Chains A and B, each alone.
Chain A
Amino acid sequence: MAKKKVVVLIKSNPFSWKVFEALRLAVGASMEHKMHVVFIKDGVYSLTDWKPQLIGIEPFDKSIEALGMMGAEIIAEEEAIRERGLILKKWPAEIKVMPKDDIAELIKDSEVVLSW
């Protein structure tokens, strides 16, 4: 069975377990499919240098590193970062900052879109 083009779209803020679970799903699925993890809207807060341990959430540096090693593409929405005046942390995998229109194109071409 063919690999699918999958987008995990993270739009909610990281201050619950949702982003952690979304990334765990993305790591599992990237073993079988072409994976794109896209942070938009408040999801971009996940990529700043915040301290998840302070609210009892496991850090997800390992998931980001694993995604990088498995060739998954990690994307952050340029406008959302600028609107919020954020600085992204240095992660163990490349984070591509992409404008909204390019993200829309990526989603349009995907076979599975999982939004969190």
Chain B
Amino acid sequence: MNLLIIMASNPYSHDFNTVVKLIEASLKRNHKTKIFFMANGEYCLLREEIKNLHEKGLEVYYCAHNAEQRKIKPESWAESSSMYGLAKLMTEADKVLIFD
């Protein structure tokens, strides 16, 4: 399955813990797992857990406009994208979940 998670919630919310656990379980079952950070979810890019999950196979995207607004400079392993990029990811996904 192709799972897309949209994360708009900040990294100190209960949502962050849920998302990390959900991605671990999804990767363990060999689902193609992608995450798109936007709004205050951009701050999650600064957390070590997301980098570790990327190394286990998570594809990481983020809204460049929101990152710019927050003066966040994500590392190169995260792919810069946009709302239109998100629309494309939604086309490919079998399931889309949002944490706002």
Contact = CB atoms under 8 A, between A and B. Distances in A.
A24 B39 CA distance: 10
Nearest to B6: A114
Given A1-B91, A17-B39, A21-B39, A114 B98 contact: yes
Contacts of B96: 112, 114
Given A114-B96, A115-B100, A31 B87 contact: yes
B88 interface: yes
Measured as residues with beta carbon below 8 angstroms from the partner, the interface class of chain A is 20 to 34
A104 to B, nearest CB: 19
Interface string A15-51: 0011001101101111111000000000000000000
Interface residues of B, number: 19
A4 interface: yes
Residue of A25, A30, A33 ringed by the most chain B CB atoms within 10 A: A25
State the main secondary structure of chain A at its contact with B: mixed
Contact of A33 (B6, B8, B87, B98): B87
B84 A25 contact: no
A115 B100 CA distance: 8
Nearest to B65: A24
Contacts of B84: 28, 31-32
A6 B90 contact: yes
Given A25-B86, A114-B96, A116-B100, A18 B39 contact: yes
14 contacts: A4-B90, A6-B90, A18-B39, A24-B83, A25-B38, A25-B83, A28-B87, A29-B83, A31-B84, A32-B90, A33-B91, A114-B98, A115-B98, A116-B100
